[in-house]
Amino acid sequence: MTDDETSAGKSGPSVPASQRLDKWLWCARLAKTRTQAAALVSSGKIRINRIKTEKPAHAVKAGDVITASLGPKIRVLAVKAIGDRRGSADIARRLFDDLTPAPLLTGPAHVSEGASAHRDSGTGRPTKRDRRLTDRLKGEF
């Protein structure tokens, strides 16, 4: 062996080609703990390349597409890199491309996510003020 061959083998830490699915989900900050990530996979809420997997030890590699059902949201992520440890949110965003389609707007009454619903005046249960005004109209006060 030449000196170049031996020094090439010792240069820096090697980057693994694949990683456990639960560990990747944890590194990418889709789950707060590895236990939660494993439970998410075991419950069947994760697909890799459109194939449902229930094994937290399933290998994930760069180029895989992960579909995750997280509560009311469905996220589609393309794996760009394998994480060696859990870091900040900026580091986590470098591990994947978000391919999740934008939500479809359905009519003028569409309420954005997280916003409280608006009740039009005169619909639903009347307020105390509405009842007082009705009583005045009827002459009952």
3 confidence band (pLDDT: 50, 70, 90): very low
Give the tokens for residue 140: 């009952």
Tell me the β-bridge partners of 79. Answer: 96
Give the tokens for residue 13: 């830490």
One-letter amino acid identity for 96? Answer: F
Residue 108's pLDDT is 52
- In the chain the domains, ranked by start, together with CATH numbers, are 16-98 (3.10.290.10)
One-letter amino acid identity for 65? Answer: V
Contacts 24+ apart (CB under 8 A), 101-110: 101/76
Instruction: Return the C-alpha torsion angle 38, 42, 47, 52, nearest 10.
Output: 150
Compute the average pLDDT of residues 35-59.
95
56 confidence band (pLDDT: 50, 70, 90): very high
Residue 1's pLDDT is 46
Tell me the β-bridge partners of 47. Answer: 52, 67
CA distances to 1, 2, 3, 13, 101 from 7, in Å = 10, 9, 6, 13, 46
Compute the average pLDDT of residues 73-89.
92
Per-residue pLDDT for 123 more than 90? no
Compute the average pLDDT of residues 76-102.
92
Least Cα distance to 86 among 12, 43, 36, 11 occurs for 36
Distance CA 88, CA 28 (A): 9
Q: Model-level pTM?
A: 0.65
Per-residue pLDDT for 17 more than 70? yes
> Mean pLDDT score of the chain, rounded to an integer?
82
Per-residue pLDDT for 7 more than 70? no
Residue 2's pLDDT is 47
CA distances to 12, 83, 118, 119 from 109, in Å = 56, 42, 9, 11
Distance CA 68, CA 37 (A): 11
Compute the average pLDDT of residues 82-100.
92
